[in-house]
Every structure is written in structure tokens, then in C-alpha cells.
Amino acid sequence: MNTSHQMIQCPPLGAFITLIKKETIIAFLCAILLAITSTFSHDSVASPRSHLSTWALPQNSLHGHTLIIPPTFKNHKIRLREWDGTNNNFLEVINKHPRRWQAAMLDSTQLTIGCAQGVLYPIQNNTGCGQPAGFSETILTWDRSRLSTPPHWEDLWNVVQLPGQRALPQTARITLEVALLADGIPPRHVYDVLSTPQGIEHAFHRLDQLRPYILWWRTPNEAHRLLQHRGFLMGVIPHDTLAASVLRRDSYVTELSAHLSLYTEYYWSVPNNPNHASLRTTLTQLDKNFPHFPDLPEPLPNNSLVINNNFWSTHAPVLEARFSAWLKQH
């Protein structure tokens, strides 16, 4: 890039040693000017901040290996940023700072909440307020330096023969499913059981049994810190967090079970931005190629489970409230 700043002629760095005092001062001032020029040039290459849209993704998506970014998407002036995936953060941004994100990738529970509150723009398709964006994977993993035999769901609760901490997400969603899978409930029957009062009681009873051994994580970054500190024997961790940890080479070696996974569908949503021009631009971009997770594997592994969006759209408020109350009692 040619700019007027780049026409400044400064002596080489070695001149600081040999030049006389006057020339040294000039060289020093030139060095400062060049540093400032470099900063401005970098900003101009990246495009002015005010002209960039921000699309929010779950933490570690950009450092994992499952997110698919089409080559044509890179031509848009869109900044991809990660967020922690918590409902509180989502509602904080959407309700109080609607201009901060032009689009956000959400799970079905968050999408339902946003649609019901009217803070998401109603996209005209079968999901109401969301553009389907593939499936993210949460997977059973373990410390292979302490456990040489691959565990099964049932082993998560077997603290007698396999003592050690267990890592679980601090939400009812996924954790209740894991509690039933670990009790031997086949994946195809999990939601049949969880749809009954007796099934819910049984899932919470199972959590009572394991509670002293559980290390909770609320965000993918917290799960990553558990990996860094070798904090658990086995647990349920986002696949992208594991992949990012391997790329960073900053955690102990883990193993994972590709056939013991929970798949969560994500959606691109558009905050009901008062800036109508920005809103129209984002909706147009969502009609084209956009970043997304992979589709479900075919065939689905026998011991894996697809999180049921319809179930959580209906039961999330009650079950998450009960889960929060259960945490306070333990």
C-alpha cells in the first residue's frame, strides 16, 4: 500500500550507534514516526472498524477444526468474534447492546428465548428466528495417562473402580442427558424418560450420587482450563475445545470417544437492530454462504445422542431453574 507516510526516509538501526548526537535525535524521532505510521497502515488494511460487522460464535470455534468458513465469506467485511455461550451474556448483549453483534450463533434454547422476547429478527423459515448452522459436538474424553481403557457412559458414575473427578457442563441441558445415558438408558429413549416426572427425578437423583466428584465448567474456556490443569479423570467437553487445546499445546494429552458424543444444533440469529440498513445487509449475507458447523454424521454412532431442540424449547425454563436450585443445595 502506498501512503504519504511511507515516503519518510530514516537511517538504519545501526546508525544509532555511530551517528553524532544531532543525527541520533533525528533517527530516534523517525523511528517513532515509522511506528505510528505502521499502526495506521495496519488499520487501513483491516478496514475501518466502523465498516465491519461483528458475528459472534461459541468460544473456541475459531481455534478448533470443525467450523467451516466458505472462501467467498472472506470477501465480506465481517469480523468473527467468540463469546462464552452463556444465557446471561447473550441476554445482556441482545437487550442492552443490540448494535454490538450483527449476528450471533445460538443453540435452540437461546433462540427460543430471543424469539419470545422479540429481541431477534424473525427470519422467514422453519426455525422462526434462526438460520440453521450445523451441529457442534460435545464429547466424552479422559486422561489416558491415568486410564488406558476407553470408558463408556456408565463409567462416568463408576467412582468406586475408577476414582477421580468428572467434568460436566453446569447446565441442565446436556448434563441431564448424560446422567441418563450413564444409567444405561439407550439414546433413543432418553427423551421419553426425561419427558416424565419420574424420569426427571431419576436424573437428579443420579446427579446427587456423583455430585462430590463433579468439576463444573460454565464456558468452553473454563473447560479448557480444566484440561490445562489436568483436573479430571474423565468428562464431557466441547470437541472444539479439545481441538483448540491440542493446537495450542497447552494441556495434558487426552483421549476422546468419537462414538460417545452429544450433538447440538446451532443457528445464526440476527438481533433486532434499530439500524435497518445493517439489518438488511446481515439478512442478505445469511442468504449466501456463511460459517457453519458440519451436518450430522451418517450413520449416527449408536451410543451418541442428538440434543432434542423441541424438548428444550418447551422444558428449558423449568429444568434450568430446577437445576440452579439443585446446585445451591449442594
User: Tens of pLDDT along 156-211?
Assistant: 999 999 999 999 999 999 999 999 999 999 999 999 999 999 999 999 999 999 99
**What pLDDT does residue 277 have?**
81
pLDDT at residue 177, as a whole number: 99
Place of cell 422453519: 126
The domain segmentation of the chain, as residue ranges, is 6-43, 53-133+268-286, 136-265+296-329
Which of 140, 130, 263, 139 is CA-nearest to residue 190? 263
Distance CA 227, CA 83 (A): 19
d(CA 310, CA 109): 9
Residue 124 is predicted with a pLDDT of: 66
Same fold, 53-133+268-286 and 136-265+296-329: yes
What is residue 272's predicted lDDT score, i.e. its pLDDT?
A: 83
Give pLDDT, residue 37: 32
The CATH class given to the 53-133+268-286 domain equals alpha beta
Spatial separation of the C-alpha atoms in residues 307 and 262, rounded to whole Å: 7
Q: What percent of the chain stands above pLDDT 90? A: 49
Q: Which of 145, 293, 175 lies closest to 235, judged by CA?
A: 175
Which tens digits make up the pLDDT trace of 225-253?
998 888 899 999 999 888 877 666 655 55
Question: Which secondary-structure segment (H or E) carries 40?
Answer: helix 21-45
Beta-bridge mates of residue 256: 141
Please state which CATH class domain 136-265+296-329 belongs to.
alpha beta
Predicted local distance difference test score (pLDDT) of residue 287? 82
CA dist list (Å): 133 to 9, 127, 264, 324: 51, 11, 10, 29
Summarised one tens digit per residue, pLDDT across range 10-64 is 444 444 334 334 444 344 333 333 333 333 233 322 344 446 889 999 999 988 7
pTM over 0.75: yes
Task: Say how far apart CA 309 and CA 122 lie, in whole Å.
Answer: 18
pLDDT tens-digit profile of 107-119?
A: 988 998 888 888 8
Mean pLDDT of all residues in 78-101:
82
